[in-house]
Structure 1
């Protein structure tokens, strides 16, 4: 296993929302056999994955992100449904998404650009705001999308929260929880 540390920028999810999601995840674990479930303290929305980072590039990214987020305001996000990445019969990632939000798209674009200006080569796939819940399907039978639709029907409300911080996280693969906040960028009210 590669123990090299990685860095990424993300929207921090508030503690109360993490606890609400933990309750939901505990129920989901009974229905969906995934190999690894994310620790609730590690829940976040990734904005830019930097990977392994040279110190000078990381410092430049921190400076750029601080400048570009200066004056940005908090905004509301609503977690509203579940989905998967990977093969439909054996998903690689199980996630919760947020309703479309222009403020989130704008913040992501600014953070992404600030990191590119610092010299990072970032993921080029289109941005899909999501909160990873689990990884690697391990069920005895193939995963079926209709299970997610049924779960969504049972959930009468969305989980709403105010995004108040962008955070630079460092990954510690041998710890639980495994993400450590290195720099915090408050969105000012």
Structure 2
């Protein structure tokens, strides 16, 4: 059975940030056994997951997102801690968290509204920006939240970066890395 590709809008992380996170993940893997670690080139912050998208609906979302994002400025973000979703003793998702950013919340609202207006049914839970690093706890012992302390050893100061692009990604489940940026929306008017 043929799998349909999925699409999503996300913050495109700068390459140097992805490389820094790759180094950190190599160290984290030594003590935190998860089933699947995300390839460093696939790191991002999801703004709106569309799932399968017919081309006309996708084009409408792209057009509306471009209109709404137009005139937006680059965003300064800082990765300052680790977190998880799921059960405390057996996390489903392990992620890097960013400090609160009103600018990121505003960009997410613009993208979310554009996709909603294009007819997509989107996630209704509150937006929790994060960068997924790994999935599904694989440890023989229960996960211990104090393992997060290693972040301060790896990154004593928050890892700062500038967001200059929002991307529309297409998923390729049979490839590594599996996310392809098929369209970029610049937040930097000087480029």
Whether 1:132 aligns to 2:132 is yes
Corresponding residue number in structure 2 for 1:162: 162
TM-score, normalization: structure 1? 0.97
Whether 1:152 aligns to 2:151 is yes
CA–CA separation in structure 1 for the residues paired with 2:38 and 2:47 = 18
- Following superposition of structure 1 onto structure 2, how do residues 70-109 of structure 1 map, counting pairs within 5 Å? 70-109=70-109
TM-score, normalization: structure 2? 0.96
Paired residues, number: 188
Superposition deviation, residue 156 in structure 1: 1.1
CA RMSD of aligned residues (A): 1.2
The runs of at least 4 consecutive aligned structure 1 residues that moved more than 6 Å come to none
1:110-168 Cα offsets, whole Å, 9 max, x none, are 000000000000000010000000001000111011211x2234231111000000000
Give the secondary structure class of the aligned counterpart of 1:62. Answer: helix
| Runs of at least 5 residues in structure 1 that lack an aligned partner in the other structure | none
Corresponding residue number in structure 1 for 2:115: 115
Give the secondary structure class of the aligned counterpart of 1:135. Answer: strand
CA–CA separation in structure 1 for the residues paired with 2:23 and 2:71 = 34
Corresponding residue number in structure 1 for 2:24: 24
- Following superposition of structure 1 onto structure 2, how do residues 172-183 of structure 1 map, counting pairs within 5 Å? 172-183=172-183
| Runs of at least 5 residues in structure 2 that lack an aligned partner in the other structure | none
